[in-house]
Structure 1
Amino acid sequence: MVPAEILANQVKAYNPHSNSGLIAAAYEYGERMHDGQLRRSGEPYFTHPVAVAFLLAEQRLDDATIITALLHDTIEDTKSTYTEIALRFGDEIAQLVNGVTKLTNLELSSNQNAQAENFRKLLMAMSKDVRVLLVKLADRLHNMRTIRHLRYEKQVRKARETMDIYAPLAGRMGMQWMRDELEDISFRILNPEARKSIIRRFVTLRRETGDVIPKITDDIRAVLAQAKVDAEVFGREKKPYSIWRKMQEKGEGFSRLSDIYGFRIITASAVDCYVALGAVHKRWAAVPGRFKDYISAPKSNGYRSIHTTVSGRDGKQVEVQIRTQQMHTVAETGVAAHWSYRDGERFENPFAVDPFRWLSTITAGFEGAEDSDDFLEHVKLEMFTDQVFCFTPKGEVVKLPKGATPIDFAYAIHTRIGDSCVGAKVDGRRVPLWTKLKNGQSVTIIRAEGQRPQPSWEDMVVTGRAKSAIRRSLRGERRATQIRLGREIARVALERVGKKATDKALATAAKRMGEDDLEDVLAKLGAAEITGRDLIGALYPEIIRHSADGPEERDPSSPIVIGLGSGQEGRPAPCCSPIPGERIVGIAVRGKGVMIHAIDCAELTNYEDQPDRWIDLRWADSHSTPDHEVKIELVMANDTGVLGRICTLIGEQRSNITNIQFTDRKPDYYRMLVDIEVRDMEHLTHVLTAIDADSDIAEVRRHRNVSSGGLSTTTS
């Protein structure tokens, strides 16, 4: 185990003002607290906190972060307490250690709901101090480096969690080197054969062509020297997982990939970056569509660089990244650059993003998420995707995830603009709203007063901000529709018993039913969560009691039919829901009694070879109570007042609505299923005829379900 003096001296080397005594005291305290504890490898457990501290010292971080690394497992795994750490090392370090402890206890690989809620807690902890996450990422990296000592099942679980959560998060924070290593270790565990295959291909390529990296590096240096650009040039092979991901995305084999080699040009100034770009493009042909300028349009995590792909030596396509040394520091360490030291002082890198401002830009879009699933979706959409940069007509840059559409663009500017979007122009040409935007395009949003988000938009957008705003609008619109429908249902239900659906009566019903206000009652009526009978029962229970005592009230699930044997119970089959006036037949079903089918029910074909199960039935003569439920399907114009008028028509035919379900919503027409109660076939025919006579009804028919997946309908 590396002694405390070496760690303290390493920190002192980049920060002469470091408190070496406090680091040594934290080292001694942590070693004493973990005394006797062993890792799976058999090493003393404290070797792990020390390794995490050294990882963070390599990032040139402050004393508080280094000490937190040494103590990050003490509260969780030893008898140490928050109070004791605060007394010994101060409140700042105690809060950091406690924050890391909370992150360690989050099960980010658990079930969807728990994962979503834990993600919310993770970002809350980050928002208080990003150093908490820096320690946690270093902790995960060291654990992944030593993961071979765990049993295989746990290795796979940790690797999956790292690949899904920690590696993308490290990348989103700008710590690309850490993301690459975390992904490569996880890839080795999750898909070892694929990784070995790619490594073998690299070995074969080197044997066939030699090591081309030094040759191409020399070529680039010669070009830059000729252009009088003072710069460093580095070349590398892409990581196996990066190669594998490109193969999967492009559906191509290893030999067809164009950028398995990458080169970096580090210049003294931003001006030199563009001079170097011109020199490279003058010497080698640029590959169309493979140019990105992140210097003029930086990523939100502070990343700045020019990316281009050229056809280099022997026609090999290589990726070239061009940036300054300060940009390179941010590209390698991300938000950690905010705390880094140089020459003994906190180094103010002009390109380092303030982590708290950075976090606010990430979490701003999450405010509309109403539940944990929404939040998790936003995290994955907003944090773990590449970006495209588009422009408003005034030249302002709008950053969006890869795959974003004009609707995403509109909502990124303002929710009001997104809600009222009716079209878009990209580079001056009208395009469909589902068009995927590309880097550098200029987007103009066409708006119209009165326009509202459409349900289909949710499938077109990729940003959490847009999805949340669309869902919020649709929820409000759906509630307004349910309230309007509920008011009609309440009016019809109460008029049938000689009462009026006044606001006072509805408010009284809300109070008696435990709802907040009358709109909640109406919304539940419109959503079929409660029925008109429930409303009457809340206001006039004596009417319901009287109705229950009357001779006409009976259990609708037990129809009166003739032909059932002694002790047999008949139930209407849900596939055809037969009603009086239709010819019926019974099918004996073990454990369910007798299922009553209409004679033309398609399900009866399943019993053609079982004649012993068939029972001849017919309806009894008297059926005056409308208690047989049937489902009707109708297509109606999407216009003001049509739905209320249809509900009134059904009520005027002395039929009751028990449920309404919209199956398709278009700007001009709605398709819906309505469950109604009727006496018999004659009653149903009257209802269908009354609805069909309305000029705003395009189609109405009885709807029957078939359990095998088919659909049988009888048109009015």
Structure 2
Amino acid sequence: MDLSGSRIVAPPVAPATGALPAAKSRAPRRGKHGADTPEAPPAAATFANAPDERQVVSLASLTRLAEAYLPEEDVRRVREAYRVADRAHLGQFRTSGEPYISHPIAVAEICAGWKLDTDSLMAALLHDVLEDCDVSKQQLLERFGPQVADLVDGLTKLDRVQLSSKEEQQAESFRKMLLAMARDVRVILIKLADRLHNMRTLGAVDAAKRRRIARETFDIYAPIANRLGLRKLYLELLDLAFSHRYPMRSAVLRRAMLSARGNRREVLGRILDAAQKALPEIGVKADVYGREKALWGIYEKMVQRRLSFSQVLDVYGFRVIVDTVPQCYLALGALHAAFKPVPGRFKDYIAIPKVNGYQSLHTTLVGPFGTPVEFQIRTREMQRVAESGVAAHWLYKAEQETFTDLQKRTHQWLQSLLDIQSHTGDSLEFMEHVKVDLFPDAVYVFTPKGQIRSLPRGATVIDFAYSVHTDIGDQAVAARVNQEPVQLRTELHNGDVVEVLTDAASRPNPGWLAFVRTGKARAQIRHFLRTMKLTESVELGRRLLEQALASLRIDLDDLDPALFERGARDAGARSLEELYADIGLGKRLAPVAARNIALLMSGKAAATLIMPDLDPIFVNGTEGSAIQYAACCHPLPGDAVVGHLRGGHGLTLHRADCQAAGRQRTKDAERWVEVQWSDDVSGLFRSGLDLFVSDDRGVLGKVAAEIAAAEANIVHISMDEEAEKTVHLRFVVQVRDRVHLALLMRNLRKLPEVTRLQRG
């Protein structure tokens, strides 16, 4: 249904009476994206065909659509919303020269095509009055009720908010829209209708703006439409965005499609005839029709696989529509009997639907002359859901226990948006997480109890754990996939049965951020680390500053609080807590901060204040992420250690004899501090072990058993073949201290298979 060209001139509508103010004369506004930019009417001398502002766009088409499924009283309310919108936009014109009210009417018509409810149609008509007109949310609330006011407010962009950059402004606008969608899915349905009409009429704006809006459609709106199952809308948005972002490529490809259509007509006709004969023979009544692959889909395949257009064989396909699910499988059998199937090209999305609710059987068959052709087989209900997605259901009205499978999956995703929002720092980070979840590809895995969970392709065990529950993700320590032990970073595949083992004392690992795939997992891990790291870093920073001040014979507890606060501000921190955190994270040096505070107290010049040696920092193993233990040397309690203050990473401990630390210390000596182990160190610490063993059967099991008998944990194992009948085993183990490691090494040396052993 293309609404962009339909405009009928009708007599003016009398202004409605009520609380909303009459339209005021206004300067040209440019607050909207795309073709919706409202402007003052152009002068006759410069735009001879400019419409008279007394002309209005007809409501007849929208009325016919609404009357087909809404009662008369609701249609009357829609007309009232139209009158208010028409009066609010009086004097505004689109870039194309049409009265601006033509855009809200077109958006409402698209929504009526989806059979959205009365409040949705009213919100569609009013969706720009808060942004571009002198109308407030309170006035909408009083006139049309809270539902319509909330929908319009959720659709309103934040152009009046002053943010640091255009990217942040755009991200904040999307964040508000998506969170409003999480509360009421009608917000995004109206927004998608708004974007569709903009894309249909985008030719009126300049080329740079067309490209920008097309890119935005590719990145956000089309993926959201696909995620909600609006397949028809998704494909139209992609093709429109393709034609505006790459106009020359789109035109060339379109011409190639027209040419190919003629060349392949005979082949496709023979396949269609064969299918139409084969299905009635087994008693299946079906509608069979051909379809063309979308231009963007063809172009994307050509780019990703480096193919020419002539090498893309599945440009055309067929769709088979039947009445029942059993008939889908009967039709599949008939088609496989008529044509040879291509191995590995069958997908059953009926048994396991896609994450957006899409259901269909896909099979690729070899037609005449060796041409591969894809068939999609589905019921009429599946076809309706494939076209309308979540718009085919009343998600916002239904009680959760009566949700369909599609509604439940959509509801879970919408709720995950609220989870992501609560654990992200800003709008840009929020959009980064959400974009990850908008990719259409998915894998389907099972819980041990047989429940299906859908995850983005490339998702790992940790993503699965967070999809089940936040606590399971936070406390994950091990996992089994298909009854086999695997690492937490293991990528999951369709059909995997995943079991996650947890430990209440475990916490998220910063290294997980390198491989997690879902926005929820990434947001939760970052939130946890940010919260815990801040607390731990503040405590470490206070200890570092206290020791630095003590070396200057200044007691932290005796400092004047006002002077201390001033010292923090002079150092560039907004508060004492921020100063402590920055010191603990290595962003500021405690000796420098201490000297600045001392200068404030003494008033002496910097050159006259000589820094004595600082007392060492004591480490007890409970500092958490504020202190890192270098992987190059694995320091243990009992080792002589030194500390390196790395910007943003806190304090990193090295063994005093570590060669890597020695090289680094010559470059930035001011960032190295003396460290000692406290008398009450607790916890387990990693250490490397290099073993050279004879290549005998069962030797790895003997070594592992000896490590376990010494009450040490194995974290990682790798091996290389060193020489003939000799194997180099590399272990990373967890021990209590240097004495515990020595005991373990002494026991390992007793094994006859061990020829050489050293600490890694």
TM-score, length of structure 1 as denominator length: 0.70
Cα displacement (A) at 1:357 = 5.7
Secondary structure at 1:646's aligned position in 2? strand
Indicate the residue corresponding to 1:525 in structure 2. 583
Distance 1:147 1:104, change over 3 A: farther
Counterpart check, 1:676 vs 2:669: yes
Indicate the residue corresponding to 1:364 in structure 2. 419
Cα displacement (A) at 1:537 = 5.7
Asked if the contact 2:633/2:654 (under 8 Å) is kept, the reply is no
Cα displacement (A) at 1:400 = 0.5
CA distance in 1, matches of 2:280, 2:654: 64
Counterpart check, 1:398 vs 2:453: yes
Asked if the contact 2:635/2:654 (under 8 Å) is kept, the reply is no
Same amino acid, percent of matched pairs = 38
Asked if the contact 1:172/1:383 (under 8 Å) is kept, the reply is yes
Greater CA drift, 365-374 or 378-387: 365-374
Asked if the contact 1:109/1:115 (under 8 Å) is kept, the reply is no
Indicate the residue corresponding to 2:116 in structure 1. 61
Q: Which amino acid aligns with 2:129?
A: T
Cα displacement (A) at 1:115 = 2.8
Q: 2:259 aligns with which of 193, 201, 204?
A: 204
Distance 1:508 1:204, change over 3 A: same
Cα displacement (A) at 1:478 = 5.0
CA distance in 1, matches of 2:128, 2:577: 52
**1:669-688 residue CA offsets vs partner (Å, 9 max, x unmatched):** 9966554359xxxxx9x999
Counterpart check, 1:37 vs 2:63: no
Cα displacement (A) at 1:379 = 1.0
Q: Which amino acid aligns with 2:302?
A: M
Indicate the residue corresponding to 1:328 in structure 2. 383
Q: 2:439 aligns with which of 384, 387, 392?
A: 384
Secondary structure at 1:353's aligned position in 2? helix
Indicate the residue corresponding to 1:261 in structure 2. 316
Counterpart check, 1:353 vs 2:349: no
Distance 1:420 1:47, change over 3 A: closer
Q: 2:633 aligns with which of 631, 637, 660?
A: 637
Counterpart check, 1:443 vs 2:501: no
Q: Which amino acid aligns with 1:172?
A: R
Q: 1:222 aligns with which of 256, 264, 277?
A: 277
Greater CA drift, 210-219 or 531-540: 531-540
Secondary structure at 1:441's aligned position in 2? coil
Q: 1:15 aligns with which of 70, 74, 79?
A: 70
Q: Which amino acid aligns with 1:185?
A: L
Distance 1:405 1:86, change over 3 A: closer
**1:428-453 residue CA offsets vs partner (Å, 9 max, x unmatched):** 55666555433223334466786655
CA distance in 2, matches of 1:415, 1:670: 41
Cα displacement (A) at 1:238 = 0.6
Cα displacement (A) at 1:380 = 0.3
CA distance in 2, matches of 1:661, 1:33: 52
Matches within 5 A, 1:421-460: 421=476, 424-428=479-483, 434-445=489-500, 453-460=508-515
Asked if the contact 1:330/1:352 (under 8 Å) is kept, the reply is no
Q: 2:291 aligns with which of 208, 212, 236?
A: 236
Q: 1:164 aligns with which of 219, 234, 245?
A: 219
Q: How many residues align?
A: 592
Indicate the residue corresponding to 1:247 in structure 2. 302
Indicate the residue corresponding to 1:47 in structure 2. 102
Secondary structure at 1:370's aligned position in 2? coil
CA distance in 1, matches of 2:128, 2:501: 55
Distance 1:641 1:286, change over 3 A: farther
Indicate the residue corresponding to 1:646 in structure 2. 642
Asked if the contact 2:178/2:188 (under 8 Å) is kept, the reply is no
Matches within 5 A, 1:435-514: 435-445=490-500, 453-475=508-530, 478=533, 482=537, 486=541, 489-490=544-545, 492-493=547-548, 496-497=551-552
Matches within 5 A, 1:529-678: 529-533=587-591, 536=594, 550=608, 553=610, 637-639=633-635, 641=637, 645-647=641-643, 673=664, 675-677=668-670
CA distance in 1, matches of 2:200, 2:94: 13
Distance 1:125 1:196, change over 3 A: same
Asked if the contact 1:509/1:518 (under 8 Å) is kept, the reply is no
Asked if the contact 2:278/2:335 (under 8 Å) is kept, the reply is yes
Asked if the contact 1:57/1:66 (under 8 Å) is kept, the reply is yes
Distance 1:90 1:212, change over 3 A: farther
CA distance in 2, matches of 1:198, 1:299: 29
Counterpart check, 1:301 vs 2:356: yes
Distance 1:477 1:137, change over 3 A: closer
Q: Which amino acid aligns with 1:246?
A: K
Cα displacement (A) at 1:161 = 1.9
Secondary structure at 2:387's aligned position in 1? helix
Counterpart check, 1:141 vs 2:199: no
Indicate the residue corresponding to 2:28 in structure 1. none
Asked if the contact 1:510/1:521 (under 8 Å) is kept, the reply is no
Asked if the contact 2:154/2:176 (under 8 Å) is kept, the reply is no
TM-score, length of structure 2 as denominator length: 0.66
**1:549-572 residue CA offsets vs partner (Å, 9 max, x unmatched):** 85x749xxxxxxxxxxxxxxxxxx
CA distance in 1, matches of 2:605, 2:92: 75
**Cα RMSD over matched residues?**
4.6
Distance 1:485 1:221, change over 3 A: same
**1:184-236 residue CA offsets vs partner (Å, 9 max, x unmatched):** 11111211232233223323323333254454333333333233233333320
Indicate the residue corresponding to 1:609 in structure 2. none
Matches within 5 A, 1:97-112: 97-102=152-157, 111-112=166-167
Distance 1:487 1:145, change over 3 A: closer
In the alignment, structure 2 segments of 5+ residues that lack a partner are 1-6, 9-57, 396-401, 615-628, 676-685, 689-760
Distance 1:498 1:697, change over 3 A: farther
